[in-house]
């Protein structure tokens, strides 16, 4: 349900709260945001991660290597707790290393930096003049100038490699609004629809769609733009993530490849069939190159000579977490090749080598995310990087790779990687001042035997200054997704280090249903939510509590989304293992969830179908094991957290669970965030979240 793509959605949700409409020329008339960066004397003395310290981290954002391969552009977002928002600025750093240069100031939010193909200027998005527009500056940050003044602003942009064209995306009103239908009722506030997908993840449909525009471009001047999707009622990039990596220019600057799900209403809700289209800028023709491929097809990337195009493809219709396969199409011969057919892992973030003879990609393996290469001639796949970390982005840079790496103990930083040896060198040190003063807990790994005789990887994170002679309370972390690995991620909410800093041992199993352990391990969970993965949770905590340094009488279980469902389900069958629970935005009643969520293809695949299909044995088994069917067994204190703008799992799911606990006299607490979604992204909301989270745990486990 969440998978790794939610990282993109989280960035978008953050950005929605970050990008203020400030004009650089009138900055004196507006409050200047001063980000919280330096640690206080008390925080240094404490030497542990706290919610306040967590929000002093600078957050690495979008990065791009210059055309000459010598310089990297990137963004850093920093937050002000007092202002309750953040500010994003653009930096550059030489690939060989050195001090970063701040190219924009903290007076406005400047983001999505892109090198102009000649490397002389940098384009970026900014809300300096009100709506988000394209601005440009010299490579050293000088001579800043506004390039577009498009009504309503733009969402993304990309220069053609030839430098003579540019594309941008913006919202276009296609369908009529209530005011169009009832012009004599201008104060009416009502949403009217005749079809599904009237809301998606965290926003209500308003009849507008993201469209791609292409225009001539000459040294900062943009000519008349054409909407290449004129009149079409669908989005490119696709909602709800609007990831501009779904759009690509050909090297010749004459073709735009874009991803689109050209379906509407109910058809959109029940299908994952997206396709890749090639738009010819000169003759305005459109070709669907993935017609007949019925799952997700996304992220087109042209080869350096433009003769081939690669993309990610999923085979199974309606299965959003299917294996991500690597395909290449020879545009001259029409030959389509499935390059990772015998490779039992995903292939994501695909790119071409500079000579076009190989492809690189990121793939999960044993709950880490590594960079791989694939030789096009031999079809051999080689793993480039190794270690307990996640690479989330990379790009070629003059025979090297530059990548963004994180771990459970380190927020994202830029590294260079030798593609031949895998040797890494850290480029940025955004949060060194924090790591120098805050002690992290040790991350350990263990493989345990499951109830069906398989081996499962479990991360166990120990408190700072861990003492094996002491007894600690422990938390079973239940992962969301469900098809999302408990990998080496650094989260700004579900952060294992901040839990460890509160003197909890964290037990984080990669239970059945997560990727990076082969297709079968990932797929097993569908139709079996109450089965093997629940036993995997219990196997993990039962194994860990045998350690003398874990107090088996002080165990808690926590989780969000599918992890929230897991907590609700465990509450009805845990046989008194746990002393408390915390569930954030979890599914409580499968029938009400099915009828209220928007991407219906998800429960159709993972539940087995709708609850009214009485002949469907898989579906009926799923609904028979909905957590609300076992609420009479609840006897353990529970905290429930929801966001009112979460349309993926409606907040009423959490209200049902809280009410059920209250009516049975079970100690319970409800936290409702009216302006949050599936995530909690606003700084002060997030700090309150952490305080309430640990306040509840400490009350029942310490």
| Catalytic choice (211, 389, 574, 678) | 678
What is residue 31's predicted lDDT score, i.e. its pLDDT?
54
User: Is the model's pLDDT at 336 over the cut of 80?
Assistant: yes
Average pLDDT, the chain: 94
Q: Show Cβ contacts of residue 366 under 8 Å, excluding neighbours closer than 6 positions.
A: 457, 516, 517
Q: What's the confidence (pLDDT) of residue 250?
A: 98
CATH number of 441-701: 3.40.50.1820
CA–CA distance, 322 with 602 (Å, rounded to integer): 12
Helix axes 532-544, 562-571, angle to 10 degrees: 80
CA 266 to chain centre: 25
CA distance 157 to 150: 13
User: Residue 21: helix, strand or coil by DSSP?
Assistant: coil
Separation of alpha carbons 661 and 346, rounded Å: 41
pLDDT band at 611 (very low <50, low <70, confident <90, very high): very high
Look at phi and psi of residue 141 and say left if phi exceeds 0, alpha if psi is from -120 to 50, else beta: left
| CA 679-411-69 angle, 5° bins | 115
225 has pLDDT over 90 = yes
Is 678 one of the catalytic residues? yes
Say which of 110, 389, 646, 668 is annotated catalytic. 646
pLDDT, mean of residues 620-626 = 98
pLDDT at 689: 98
User: Strand 580-584 to strand 638-643: parallel, antiparallel, or no bridges (unpaired)?
Assistant: parallel
* CA 320/CA 295 separation, integer angstroms: 8
The alpha carbon of 19 is separated from its chain's Cα centroid by a whole number of angstroms, namely 19
Q: Which of 520, 6, 599 is nearest to 318 (CA)?
A: 599
pLDDT above 70 for 6: no
Residues of the chain with CATH 3.40.50.1820: 441-701
User: What pLDDT does residue 406 have?
Assistant: 98
Active-site residue, selected from the candidate residues 561, 566, 626, 668: 561
Q: Name the strand (E) or helix (H) holding 346.
A: none
**Residue 204's beta-bridge partner residues?**
199
Residue whose token pair is 């196997």: 539
Is 269 in contact with 601 (CB distance < 8 Å)? yes
Q: What is the pLDDT of residue 59?
A: 98
CA 512 to chain centre: 21
Which pTM does this prediction carry? 0.95
Q: Which two tokens stand for residue 628?
A: 């609300």
Neighbours of 109 (CB within 10 A): 25
Q: How confident is the model at residue 129 (pLDDT cuts 50, 70, 90)?
A: confident
Answer whether 608's CB lies under 8 Å from 622's CB.
yes
Summarised one tens digit per residue, pLDDT across range 545-576 is: 999 999 999 999 999 999 999 999 999 999 99
Our answer to whether residue 668 is catalytic in this structure is no
* Per-residue pLDDT at 16 exceeds 70: no
- Rounded to an integer, the average pLDDT of 682-697 is 97
Instruction: Give tens-digit pLDDT for 459-507.
Output: 999 999 999 999 999 999 999 999 999 999 999 999 999 999 999 999 9
Q: Omega of the bond prior to 482 within 30 degrees of 0, cis? A: yes
Distance CA 523, CA 532 (A): 12
Model pLDDT, residue 32: 67
Write out the E strands in 202-314.
203-204, 208-218, 221-222, 226-227, 247-249, 255-260, 275-280, 286-288, 297-302, 308-313
- If you average pLDDT over residues 13-40, what whole number do you get? 51
- Identify the residue whose tokens are 């990309």: 158
Q: What pLDDT digit, counting tens, does each position of 87-108 carry?
A: 999 999 999 999 999 999 877 8
646 included as an active-site residue:
yes
To the nearest 10°, report the CA torsion of 344, 346, 350, 356. 0
User: In this model, does residue 20 exceed pLDDT 70?
Assistant: no
What would the pLDDT profile of 302-317 be if each residue is shown by its tens digit? Answer: 999 999 999 999 999 9
Nearest to 74 by CA among 410, 434, 426, 413: 413
């Amino acid at each position: 349900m969440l998978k790794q793509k939610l990282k993109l959605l989280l960035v978008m949700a953050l950005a929605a709260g970050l990008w203020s409409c400030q004009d650089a020329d009138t900055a004196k008339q507006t409050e200047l945001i001063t980000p919280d960066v330096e640690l206080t004397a008390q925080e240094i003395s404490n030497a542990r991660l706290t919610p306040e310290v967590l929000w002093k981290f600078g957050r690495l954002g979008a990065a791009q290597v210059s055309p000459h391969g010598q310089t990297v552009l990137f963004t850093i977002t920093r937050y002000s707790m007092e202002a309750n928002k953040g500010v994003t600025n653009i930096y550059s750093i030489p690939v060989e290393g050195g001090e970063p240069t701040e190219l924009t100031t903290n007076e406005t939010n400047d983001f999505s930096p892109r090198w102009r193909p000649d490397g002389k200027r940098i384009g970026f998005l900014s809300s300096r003049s009100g709506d988000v527009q394209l601005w440009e500056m010299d490579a050293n940050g000088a001579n800043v100038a506004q390039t577009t003044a498009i009504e309503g602003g733009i969402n993304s942009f990309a220069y053609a490699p030839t430098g003579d064209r540019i594309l941008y995306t913006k919202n276009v009103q296609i369908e009529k609004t209530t005011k169009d239908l009832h012009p004599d009722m201008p104060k009416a506030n009502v949403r009217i629809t005749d079809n599904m997908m009237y809301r998606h993840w965290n926003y209500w449909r308003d009849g507008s769609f993201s469209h791609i525009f292409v225009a001539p471009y000459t040294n900062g001047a943009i000519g008349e733009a054409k909407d290449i999707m004129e009149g079409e009622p669908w989005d490119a990039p696709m909602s709800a993530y609007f990831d501009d990596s779904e759009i690509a220019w050909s090297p010749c600057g004459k073709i735009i490849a874009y991803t689109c799900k050209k379906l509407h209403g109910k058809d959109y809700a029940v299908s994952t069939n997206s396709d890749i289209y090639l738009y010819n800028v000169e003759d305005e023709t459109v070709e669907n190159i993935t017609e007949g491929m019925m799952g997700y097809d996304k992220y087109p990337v042209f080869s350096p000579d433009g003769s081939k195009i690669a993309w990610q493809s999923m085979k199974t219709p309606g299965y959003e977490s299917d294996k991500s396969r690597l395909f290449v199409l020879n545009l001259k011969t029409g030959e389509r090749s499935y390059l990772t057919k015998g490779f039992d892992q995903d292939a994501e973030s695909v790119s071409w080598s500079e000579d076009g003879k190989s492809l690189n990609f990121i793939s999960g393996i044993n709950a880490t995310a590594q960079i791989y290469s694939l030789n096009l001639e031999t079809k051999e796949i080689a793993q480039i990087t190794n270690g307990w970390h996640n690479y989330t982005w990379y790009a070629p840079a003059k025979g090297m790779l530059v990548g963004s790496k994180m771990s459970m103990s380190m927020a994202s930083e830029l590294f260079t990687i030798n593609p031949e040896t895998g040797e890494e060198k850290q480029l940025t040190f955004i949060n060194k001042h924090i790591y120098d003063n805050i002690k992290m807990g040790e991350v350990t790994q263990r493989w345990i035997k499951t109830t069906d005789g398989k081996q499962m990887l479990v991360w166990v994170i120990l408190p700072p200054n861990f003492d094996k002679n002491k007894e600690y309370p422990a938390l079973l972390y239940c992962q969301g997704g469900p098809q999302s690995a408990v990998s080496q991620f650094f989260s700004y909410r579900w952060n294992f280090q901040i839990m460890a800093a509160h003197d909890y041992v964290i037990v984080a199993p990669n239970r059945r249903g997560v990727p990076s352990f082969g297709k079968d391990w990932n797929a097993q969970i569908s139709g079996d939510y109450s089965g093997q993965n629940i036993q995997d949770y219990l196997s993990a905590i039962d194994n860990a509590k045998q350690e003398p340094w874990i107090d088996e009488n002080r165990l808690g279980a926590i989780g969000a989304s599918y992890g929230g469902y897991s907590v609700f389900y465990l509450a009805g069958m845990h046989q008194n293992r746990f002393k408390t629970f915390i569930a954030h935005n979890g599914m409580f009643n499968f029938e009400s969830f099915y009828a209220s969520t928007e991407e219906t293809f998800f429960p159709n695949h993972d539940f087995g179908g709708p609850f009214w299909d009485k002949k469907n044995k898989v579906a009926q088994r799923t609904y028979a094991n909905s957590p609300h069917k076992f609420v009479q067994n609840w006897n353990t204190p529970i905290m429930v957290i929801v966001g009112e703008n979460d349309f993926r799992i409606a907040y009423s799911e959490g209200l049902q669970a809280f009410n059920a606990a209250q009516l049975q006299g079970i100690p319970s607490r409800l936290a409702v965030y009216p302006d949050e979604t599936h995530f909690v992204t606003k700084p002060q909301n997030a700090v309150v979240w952490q305080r309430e989270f640990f306040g509840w745990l400490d009350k029942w486990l310490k």
